[in-house]
Amino acid sequence: MFDKLRVKLFADGADKQSMLEMRRRWKVKGFTTNPTLMRKAGVTDYEAFAHEILAEIRDLPVSFEVFSDEFAEMKRQARKIAAWGENVYVKIPITNTRRESSVALVRELSKEGIRINVTAVLTLAQVEAVAVALAGGAPAVVSVFAGRIADTGRDPVPLMSEALGLLRELPHVELLWASPREVLNVMQAEEVGCHIITATPDILNKLSTLGKALDDFSLETVKMFHDDAAAAGFKL
């Protein structure tokens, strides 16, 4: 069932060995990173890490994010990152920390031919503004954080469906379902028609359960409880 998915799986992470393993085992179609994941993975030299990854991964898209809060510096960083390879997408956050929109910068960079991944998008108004900015530009990705939308108690599926509609006239722009929480989200992204969904190693490792017979899964669960009780030496 996994092999029949139309939605493209991108691995989300910043650990080199894990990234290469996800490529080999799950045949992911691309990679995304961000400063938070890099810090968690212990990366201390941003550029050195990026070049190390790109030396191994030349034929799949890889997204690296700018980290300045000032648009002029974002622009400089974006141009530098884009020059690292033809498979590089530059992640630009939808706003800076002062809630100032980055749409003008996205438009400028896209028109220059830089492949942009607009990140941290959570509203349809943001998608609509980004769609206008990316029209006529370079190939791009719009990363809508569906998982974070769900964290607020809202169903992300209708929003993702509407977002796809807003991008329908832009064949060079792909919609990415970001921050998934469970395998169910992969199927939701598939059914909506999202082009891409990111997945952490934890979620990718659960893909073997996709479509699994529930009776079999029930029995495996019972056996797990039984074996763990025995291993712990529990007595009553």
**Long-range CB contact pairs, 145-150, < 8 A, 24+:** 145/120, 145/121, 145/178, 145/179, 146/177, 146/178, 146/179, 146/180, 146/185, 146/188, 146/189, 147/178, 147/179, 147/180, 147/181, 147/185, 148/122, 148/179, 149/122, 150/181
Instruction: Report DSSP state, residue 69.
Output: S
Instruction: Please say if 91 is a catalytic residue.
Output: yes
* Angle at CA of residue 102, ends 97 and 104, nearest 5°: 155
Count H helices and E strands in the chain, helices first.
Answer: 11, 8
CB-based burial, 186-210: b 16+ in 10 Å, e otherwise:
bbbbeebebbbbbbbbebbeebeee
Instruction: Give how far Cα 1 sits from Cα of 6, 72, 180, 181, 197, Å.
Output: 11, 46, 19, 20, 16
Q: What DSSP line would sit under 165-180, residue for residue?
A: HHHTT-TTEEEEE-S-
The catalytic residue among 91, 111, 206, 212 is 91
Q: Which residues are catalytic?
A: 91
